[in-house]
Amino acid sequence: MTALDLSSPVAVVGTGTMGQGIAQVALVAGHPVRLYDAVPGRARDAADAIGSRLDRLVEKDRLTAADRDAARARLTPAGSLAELADCALVVEAVLERLDVKQELFRELEDIVSEDCLLATNTSSLSVTAIGGALRHPGRFVGLHFFNPAPLLPLVEVVSGFATDVTSATRAYETARAWGKTPVACADTPGFIVNRIARPFYAEAFAVYECQGADPATIDAVLRECGGFRMGAFELTDLIGQDVNESVTHSVWQSFFQDVRFSPSLAQRRLVESGRLGRKSGQGWYDYRDGAERPEPHTAEKRPAPAYVVAEGDLGPAGELLAMAREAGIQVREEDEDNGTRLVLPSGGRLVLADGQTSVEFRDVVYFDLALDYRRATRVALSACQDTSPQVLAEAIGFFQALGKDVSVIGDVPGMIVARTVARIVDLAHDAVAKGVATEEDIDTAMRLGVNYPLGPFEWSRRVGATRVHDLLEELNLRDPSGRYAPSLALYRHAHAADSREGTP
């Protein structure tokens, strides 16, 4: 099954931001496009708005004037649904209400031909439930574009329970022919991106709620240590707190209030107070005129330790040894069973975040996982009130000698980046095991849909499935609510990894 022929008309129903964006994508790809909106005049206004955007593309040399004129000639506002009768594809982008969408598709089914592909751009409703209103649900599919549709490459092609393979394949190939990067997924709450991205927000909010660190510090660690383009607080301010919370709540409810997807009480209070982010002038941060952006906590300068003793394999933090030598810090290496730490001159230990807490040990300072310790500009440390000031000072000085800003947070198990990545990896393994999508498509979706520096399975290979599993097990011991209980799928991967390495 191949993509729709460019001569085939494509219709978009609903002319808001997403509808206009999808129409522009199909139009620039070369299709005749019909625009329909239930409100009189809106389709004409939307066509004018798309025409203006095409003008801007010409001004930026991204489109020739001839191609713009041809595209405008192919764009037609429709006065009624009946004018969509000869369309080969109809994409719906109307109000996110199940009854509204079902009624629309019932009407369309009586108008379009039997081989017309019907698609919804829903981001939160069940594709299966919407298609359940049709006499022939096999031709119904989800085409979830990301906003702004003309710019963002990802499209989730969602197969409902009754979707025919031929329909899903045609939708997939059509999206690819339009210059997009499609990924195939089953109809599950949140599809790929909105399902697997929940921990990125949830864990940042959890660290804040337990007073482990302030939003500016958490965001800085996620960006400068974890390699994420934006921190969770600034990103949700950009998205809109009400929008982000609504998606979280929808996924949580759809999974029968699974604790792994629980919404944040702190975010709920923010929404209740009307602080919705940039659009309201206040969210986690203040965007009003004259407001100053808070700075992340950054430790004062401390002297570097003269030496460190490396005990065991530091795993993903192994590069620190070479960096320390380059910084003039003597490194002594000792083989130690189950040892994965740096011992400081004071006798204190630096340990990569493993889900345990400093209060459980004498003079242990945890450091967070980094995407790339060489390129990271900030590293977070975690200590408790009983940690020796000298030990903490040596730990700070060690990372400062490597050229890093250091943020000291509270005694938070799993810290910030490590616990976030671990939960994302776990949800990804679970999704593959349940047939939601392939590993490759999940990695692609998370890189392109939310700009993650690595896909979950790339993170899993870099950190190690066993290390991820063990960190979650430790977190689960300290928070036995089930939120951090590793999935059976991750357990299997970790066990397989242990078997390959000969661990008894």
The answer to whether residue 8 is catalytic is: no
Tell me the C-alpha distance between 329 and 306, whole Å.
Answer: 6
Q: In what order do the strands lie in the sheet with 340-343?
A: 330-334, 307-312, 340-343, 349-352, 364-367, 378-382, 405-409
Tell me the C-alpha distance between 336 and 204, whole Å.
Answer: 34
| Closest C-alpha to 21, from 80, 89, 77, 93 | 93
User: Tokens 């999940």 sit at which residue?
Assistant: 442
User: Tokens 């002038």 sit at which residue?
Assistant: 281
Terminal alpha carbon distance of the chain: 49
Residue 90's DSSP bridge partners are 11, 118
The answer to whether residue 144 is catalytic is: yes
User: Is residue 131 packed enough to be buried (19+ CB in 10 Å), middle (13-18) or exposed (0-12)?
Assistant: buried
Among the options 31, 92, 109, 123, which is catalytic?
A: 123
The answer to whether residue 194 is catalytic is: yes
Among the options 156, 234, 245, 474, which is catalytic?
A: 156
Among the options 31, 121, 126, 144, which is catalytic?
A: 144
The answer to whether residue 109 is catalytic is: no
- Give the type of residue at 152: L
The contacts of residue 443 (CB under 8 Å, 6+ apart) are: 454, 455, 456, 457, 458
Among the options 124, 194, 250, 264, which is catalytic?
A: 194
- Give the type of residue at 324: A
Residue 339, CA distances (Å) to 34, 40, 351, 392 in order: 65, 70, 9, 20
The contacts of residue 269 (CB under 8 Å, 6+ apart) are: none
Quote the tokens at residue 411. Answer: 């005694």
Catalytic residues: 123, 144, 156, 194
